[in-house]
A and B are shown apart, each in its own frame.
Chain A
Amino acid sequence: LAKTTQPISMDSYEGQEVNITCSHNNIATNDYITWYQQFPSQGPRFIIQGYKTKVTNEVASLFIPADRKSSTLSLPRVSLSDTAVYYCLVEGYSTLTFGKGTMLLVSP
């Protein structure tokens, strides 16, 4: 049973805000929610992490409702260079289990 479920792909245009939602119905009390980004032929890159409510950094925001059964990664004003695969991971320890992620395609 997959720990997380996220859309396989999303399309957007430059300058738009993109929200990618991830479902994690069986999240455990000590699990953190972490998002990674991966470009072709590169290693995954940490974007943001949260436990509850809202977290914001210079790259993205992460919204987590009170029940923690889902989370939404928000990318403000995307550019072409944001085209990548985005992974949502829910783990209680640092060994990560990657799913297929969401392939975000940003067009001009």
Chain B
Amino acid sequence: EPEVTQTPSHQVTQMGQEVILRCVPISNHLYFYWYRQILGQKVEFLVSFYNNEISEKSEIFDDQFSVERPDGSNFTLKIRSTKLEDSAMYFCASSEEGDSNSPLHFGNGTRLTVT
């Protein structure tokens, strides 16, 4: 079964540094997402992406965040200047369509630790 893959599985960085989290969505999917989950808390929506542009973003997704689809397979999340509170699991997801009867397929996440 095709799956969403994320790299790295664990990233440790110092406060103020830039990080790039990488994702390879399922190949025939058109919609891409980033979610995050702080330890012990809910899974939170960050951003959705379609046709090479952001289609929706949450208030968490402020100016320090950006997303990009640099080529035909990768989808990246960049955090420009990391803060301690950015420590979380970051999940990438993709779906065939953008409506609710097209379920999301999630990767296994990147654990980001900011020290």
Contact = CB atoms under 8 A, between A and B. Distances in A.
A98 to B, nearest CB: 4
Given A46-B103, A98-B44, A41 B109 contact: yes
A46 B104 contact: yes
Interface string A20-49: 000000000011101000100111111001
A74 B101 CA distance: 20
Interface stretch (A61-69, A76-84, A88-96): A88-96
Q: What is the predominant secondary structure among interface residues of chain A facing chain B?
A: loop
Nearest to B98: A94
Interface string A53-75: 00000000000000000000000
Size category of the binding interface on chain A: 20 to 34
Given A41-B111, A94-B95, A94-B97, A34 B44 contact: no
Nearest to A43: B106
A45 to B, nearest CB: 7
Interface in B28-43: 31, 33, 35, 42-43
A41 B56 CA distance: 26
A95 B48 contact: yes
B99 interface: yes
A41 B101 contact: no
Contacts of A94: 31, 33, 48, 95, 97-100, 102, 104
B93 interface: yes
Nearest to A49: B103
Interface in B47-77: 48, 56
27 contacts: A30-B100, A34-B100, A38-B43, A41-B109, A41-B111, A43-B4, A43-B93, A43-B108, A44-B104, A46-B105, A91-B100, A92-B99, A92-B100, A93-B98, A93-B99, A94-B97, A94-B98, A94-B100, A95-B45, A95-B48, A95-B56, A96-B35, A96-B45, A96-B104, A97-B45, A98-B42, A99-B42
Interface of B: 4, 31, 33, 35, 42-45, 48, 56, 89, 91, 93, 95, 97-109, 111
